[in-house]
């Protein structure tokens, strides 16, 4: 049975709510999306045909600030997955204590099958459809699977044309030359590495020499591999959507990145053995970083996971049932709402810079990112020890308490 990400997200919320003895009315508020928009829109393809696409923008909660969340273009997009990731964004922003709520958007499409012109037309039409929700003080999209800085530029331009003036702060993750932030491209990976360093210190575990396997070799996975290698870790395996590579002596990450950029895939790389994505998860390693898609560690494979530390660079890579098994076995899991929060943290920095029209250096951005991630990790770790629970539940306890407290302080309108 395929896991439903929205069911998983609500299960994790319910665990935290039970531990907090959260009042029933507050539970209903916090486990239910506040706004859901489904759009269908036509796009003219290069050959003259018209194709109708379906997209979503869902805001889970905006009590602590404007909604924030990525937009993904992928064939697997559906309403429940977008609801789940919108909810995760609420908890993610609250975990690292930045003043955003949670949202997510997506279009059911394989962007690899579109030309650049078709992708631009789809993006601009989708932006027009969701413009009733987004805005620099309302809901600020960002890149996700299948989207990038160029897509954000098209969204910003479309919104700005409709507004009759340039609005840089309507999106984050855009190119530097139109108001993007230094450090945004590497932010999720840098935040992931920051919490892995914190975890290695907390566990008296040496990052240098640690054997690492990374599932997913997009922006986040590739940058994680590069940065961890710089800290002396040995990356023994990486993978993309088509499969992966394994070399127990360690991969030369710069060579792998160059090969991937040249070929467009990891397939055929000569200095490693080919493996599947499923096999990568079960390799003997010290650190496992799922950086691809959700529901990768399940009850079907959890007993074969050999890593000591798991850093969730992807959203929802571990099902709730498997998460319990890992905790009971002593595997230290850094949950997604903490581990991959570097991206939304630097998105917050970009949003602030855009509103102020005052931009920071890359060194300033990275220093502030590491400060935020380090503080959040220590808060979650301290709560996990106090409550004798796992890091995921502790992160949820911290996040849900912050959102519930803000809701109580604001009161129920009218």
Active site residue 68: no
- How far is residue 92's CA from residue 340's CA, in Å, rounded to a whole number? 8
Catalytic hit among 104, 112, 174, 385: 104
Return the exposure string of 180-205: e unless at least 16 CB atoms fall within 10 Å of the residue's CB, then b: bbbbbbbbbbbbbbbbbbbbbeeeee
Q: What is the pTM of this model?
A: 0.93
* Residue 271: predicted pLDDT: 85
* Residue 2: predicted pLDDT: 60
CATH 3.40.630.30 fits 187-334, yes or no: no
Residue 153, helix vs strand vs coil: helix
* Residue 188: predicted pLDDT: 94
Tokens 């009590």 sit at which residue? 63
For the chain, give every residue range classified as CATH 3.40.50.10860.
Answer: 30-167+390-414
* Residue 29: predicted pLDDT: 95
- How far is residue 337's CA from residue 193's CA, in Å, rounded to a whole number? 14
* Residue 289: predicted pLDDT: 96
- How far is residue 101's CA from residue 61's CA, in Å, rounded to a whole number? 5
> What's the topology of domain 30-167+390-414?
Rossmann fold (3.40.50)
For 24, residues 6+ apart whose C-beta sits below 8 A from its C-beta are none
For 404, residues 6+ apart whose C-beta sits below 8 A from its C-beta are 20, 22, 26, 30
Q: How far is CA 278 from CA 242, 301, 373, 413, in A?
A: 11, 9, 30, 48
Q: What is the number of other CB atoms lying within 10 angstroms of the CB of residue 352?
A: 16
User: CA angle 393-292-378, nearest 5°?
Assistant: 35
Mean pLDDT for each consecutive 10-residue tract of the chain (414 residues)?
81 93 95 97 97 98 97 96 96 97 98 97 98 97 94 98 95 95 92 95 91 93 95 94 91 94 89 91 95 88 95 91 93 95 95 93 96 97 95 96 97 91
* Residue 1: predicted pLDDT: 52
Q: What is the number of other CB atoms lying within 10 angstroms of the CB of residue 112?
A: 11
For the chain, give every residue range classified as CATH 3.40.50.720.
Answer: 187-334
* Residue 77: predicted pLDDT: 96
């Amino acid at each position: 049975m395929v896991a439903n990400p929205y069911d998983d997200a609500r299960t994790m919320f319910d665990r935290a709510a039970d531990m907090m003895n959260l009042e029933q009315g507050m539970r209903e508020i916090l486990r239910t999306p506040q706004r859901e928009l489904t759009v269908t829109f036509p796009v003219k393809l290069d050959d003259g045909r018209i194709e109708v696409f379906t997209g979503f923008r869902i805001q889970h909660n905006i009590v602590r600030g404007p909604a924030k969340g990525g937009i993904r273009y992928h064939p697997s997009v559906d309403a429940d997955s977008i609801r789940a990731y919108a909810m995760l964004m609420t908890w993610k922003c609250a975990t690292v204590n930045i003043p955003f709520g949670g949202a997510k958007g997506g279009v059911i499409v394989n962007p690899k099958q579109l030309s650049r012109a078709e992708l631009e037309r789809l993006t601009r039409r989708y932006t027009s459809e969701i413009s009733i929700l987004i805005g620099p003080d309302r809901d600020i999209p960002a890149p996700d699977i299948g989207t990038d800085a160029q897509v954000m530029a098209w969204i910003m331009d479309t919104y700005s044309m409709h507004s009759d003036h340039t609005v840089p702060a309507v999106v984050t993750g855009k190119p530097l030359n139109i108001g993007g932030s230094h450090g945004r491209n590497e932010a999720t990976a840098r935040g992931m590495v920051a919490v892995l360093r914190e975890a290695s210190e907390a566990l008296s575990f040496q990052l240098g020499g640690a054997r690492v396997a990374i599932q997913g070799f997009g922006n986040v996975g590739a940058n994680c591999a590069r940065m961890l290698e710089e800290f002396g870790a040995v990356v023994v395996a990486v993978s993309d959507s088509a499969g992966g590579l394994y070399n127990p002596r360690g991969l030369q990450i710069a060579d792998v990145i160059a090969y991937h950029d040249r070929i467009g895939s990891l397939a055929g790389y000569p200095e490693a053995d080919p493996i599947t994505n499923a096999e990568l998860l079960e390799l003997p390693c010290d650190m496992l970083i799922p950086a691809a898609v959700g529901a990768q560690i399940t009850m079907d494979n959890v007993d074969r996971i050999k890593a000591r530390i798991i850093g969730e660079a992807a959203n929802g890579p571990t099902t709730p049932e498997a998460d319990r098994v890992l905790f009971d076995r002593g595997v230290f899991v850094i949950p997604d709402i903490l581990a991959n929060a570097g991206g939304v943290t630097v998105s917050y920095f970009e949003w602030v810079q855009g509103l102020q029209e005052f931009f920071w250096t890359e060194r300033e951005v990275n220093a502030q990112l590491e400060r935020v991630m380090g503080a959040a990790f220590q808060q979650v770790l301290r709560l996990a020890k106090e409550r004798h629970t796992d890091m995921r539940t502790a992160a949820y306890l911290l996040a849900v308490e912050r959102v519930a407290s803000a809701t109580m302080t604001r009161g129920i309108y009218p």
